[in-house]
Structure 1
Amino acid sequence: MRPITRDTLSPRVVDRVRHALRPGWSRSVITRRLASVLLVIVAVATTVTGHRGEQSRAVVVAARDLTPGHAVVADDLALREVTGGLVPGGALRLTADGIGRATVGRVHAGEIVTDARLLSPRLPAQLTGRRDARLVPVRLSDETTTSLLREGDVVDVLTAADDDRSEVTVLARAAVVALSVHASADGSLMSGRADRRPVLLAMEESAAHRVAAAGLDASLAVVMH
């Protein structure tokens, strides 16, 4: 008879593997937890690797808050390194590209400056989606209406005959406000024809010609969408 030794009683490698693979509640919980931890580690590693793989780019940002219609000077802009994947389309790469141009709408300090935030030949097409769009300065007959308009508002431009206000002509439809006029510094609204400032509207080419011609000797009004 073969004597029983300690080695005889020790489980074989095959037995250990079979025991490990045998289903069990505690073993299933541990396995799921390990799998969850592994997935989290893989996700974090992928994110870090992805960000490292994206080269940083220098873009132009606003150095301070800029108001609508502000003529940009060198001190208004700064360069900042931004991860490539966070850079929006049309972002300015050089401060010289923004100096001397007027802002369209309010620009907050630290905001990346894009070509859509500054007046440019491309702005009418960007606002209207039409390649033949033009910018037209319009002086409205009602200055209160002018003060209510904000950048991005969509309006129709109308005019009426001086002798018959019931005869209204629609000169342009779905024009977009590119630059508006707000209340004066003391909070009061401007009044009087001499003090009236124009609103810059973007519209398709033929409508722009009609509005510009009518504005020479007729009163203009807008209807907001």
Structure 2
Amino acid sequence: MGESLAPTPLARLSRLRPDWCRTVAARRIAAAALVVLAAVAAVRSDPDGEQVDVVVAAGDLTPGTQLAAHHVRVERRPVTTVPDGATTDPAAVVGVTLAGPARRGEVLTDVRLLGPRIAEAAAGRDARIVSLHLADGALVDLVRTGDVVDVLAAPASETGGGARPRVIATRAVVVLVSEKAQGPGAAGERAVLVALPEHAANEVAGASLTQAITLTFH
């Protein structure tokens, strides 16, 4: 007799096995994908882990502004966008003088505020900030923050024929130029603040008490 055309149970099982294996593999892949998606969702559901509170300007600010509480606000920013030296405590900046202009929403850093950090950033370790009152008031309008200048001094009472002006400091970095007084009848001498190494700063500060001061630009 010829072989039966009906497949045996073993033959039927061997034919079903590939589909069963593929089903198990698909389930495992789907399970792994769900685990990955759950991990991503867990990270995204906690954005605070990637953000930090920083102090920003509440409005446009001019150089020389003595910061008050209404000048600043606290905002949360992504850690990757926060610059080094960012201020995180608003109380720490109240009463501090702003060294340069700041736009609304700008993060206030240590080098935006007058103090040891801005002096160090401008003129190196142990630098000092010195206030200059220039003999030529019109020269103040030409000075800008970041300018590199040499400081010259001459006896204020000199009428000619006496000692020549002498250079008392080189490569001073301007960190602040005070704003013009506003309002009717406003007047007042404007100051230029420069950063210098300690010895040069003391020399300039002493000379400015008795001598006329001027600048040359690099």
Tell me if TM exceeds 0.5. Answer: yes
What CA distance in whole angstroms lies between the structure 2 residues aligned with 1:174 and 1:165?
A: 26
What CA distance in whole angstroms lies between the structure 2 residues aligned with 1:188 and 1:83?
A: 47
Decide whether aligned partners of structure 1 residues 90 and 188 sit closer, same or farther in structure 2, where only a CA change above 3 A counts: farther
What CA distance in whole angstroms lies between the structure 2 residues aligned with 1:165 and 1:106?
A: 42
> Which residue of 109, 113, 117 corresponds with 1:118?
113
What CA distance in whole angstroms lies between the structure 1 residues aligned with 2:97 and 2:87?
A: 14
- Which letter does structure 2 place at the counterpart of 1:171? I
Decide whether aligned partners of structure 1 residues 206 and 55 sit closer, same or farther in structure 2, where only a CA change above 3 A counts: same
Tell me which residue corresponds to 1:76.
Answer: 71
Tell me which residue corresponds to 2:199.
Answer: 206
Q: Deviations over 1:121-157 (max 9, x none)?
A: 22211112x1121011111100011122121111100
Give the count of matched residue pairs: 173
What CA distance in whole angstroms lies between the structure 2 residues aligned with 1:106 and 1:186?
A: 21
Tell me which residue corresponds to 1:11.
Answer: none
Tell me which residue corresponds to 2:127.
Answer: 133
Please tell me whether residue 171 in structure 1 is matched to residue 164 in structure 2. no
Please tell me whether residue 149 in structure 1 is matched to residue 146 in structure 2. no
Gaps of 5+ in 2: 1-39
What CA distance in whole angstroms lies between the structure 2 residues aligned with 1:153 and 1:214?
A: 21
Query: Percent of aligned positions with the same letter in both sequences?
Result: 37
What CA distance in whole angstroms lies between the structure 1 residues aligned with 2:171 and 2:97?
A: 23
Decide whether aligned partners of structure 1 residues 182 and 166 sit closer, same or farther in structure 2, where only a CA change above 3 A counts: farther
Decide whether aligned partners of structure 1 residues 76 and 153 sit closer, same or farther in structure 2, where only a CA change above 3 A counts: same
What CA distance in whole angstroms lies between the structure 2 residues aligned with 1:109 and 1:164?
A: 53
Tell me which residue corresponds to 2:216.
Answer: 223
**CA shift for structure 1 position 102:** 0.6
Gaps of 5+ in 1: 1-44
**CA shift for structure 1 position 97:** 1.4
- Which letter does structure 2 place at the counterpart of 1:158? L
- Which letter does structure 2 place at the counterpart of 1:74? A
**8 A contact 2:175–2:195 mirrored in 1:** yes
After TM superposition, the score normalised by the length of structure 1 is 0.70
**8 A contact 1:132–1:204 mirrored in 2:** yes
After TM superposition, the score normalised by the length of structure 2 is 0.72
Tell me which residue corresponds to 1:181.
Answer: 178
> Which residue of 95, 98, 114 corresponds with 1:103?
98
The structure that has the greater radius of gyration is: 2
Decide whether aligned partners of structure 1 residues 100 and 53 sit closer, same or farther in structure 2, where only a CA change above 3 A counts: closer
